[in-house]
Amino acid sequence: MKLKIYTDGGSRGNPGVSGIGVYITDEAGKEIEKRYKYLGTKTNNEAEYLGAYYGIQRGIELGATEIQLYMDSKLVISQLSGVWKIKKEELWKIHEDILKMIKKNQTKLSFHWIRREENKEADRLSNVAMDVKN
């Protein structure tokens, strides 16, 4: 099964109150599910990375064999695809966890940077997580 996963992470303050949003569709764009999660105090980049992690994890739980990951974080997409180096240790740990998860589950993964306005639902969900803090 092929899934499109849109994720976003945000932080109010850097570091500050943070959350993630995950919006999953099938390959035709039909909605499968929406999720959000409060993360506590994190940096914006940590929240973005954790959004990718949880989105990929959920895709695997749903049975995806191929995931197209869409994010408006050029940093995360560029680092996950190997174009940019990772300088922060806390991001490296999450990056490694993502790669281990993909390898273990033999999931085909492609990374796609999109403009923020193309990621409105995941952004909205990350804000819900920060608002409700649960």
Number of domains in the chain: 1
Question: What letter does residue 15 receive in the DSSP assignment?
Answer: T
pLDDT in tens, 74-128: 999 999 999 999 999 999 999 999 999 999 999 999 999 999 999 999 999 999 9
The domain that contains 62 carries what CATH number?
3.30.420.10
Q: What is the pLDDT of residue 124?
A: 98
Contacts of 107 (CB under 8 A, 6+ apart): 56, 59, 60, 64, 65, 66, 67, 101
Which of 6, 35, 3 is CA-nearest to residue 119? Answer: 6
pLDDT in tens, 48-70: 999 999 999 999 999 999 999 99
Domain that holds residue 35: 2-132
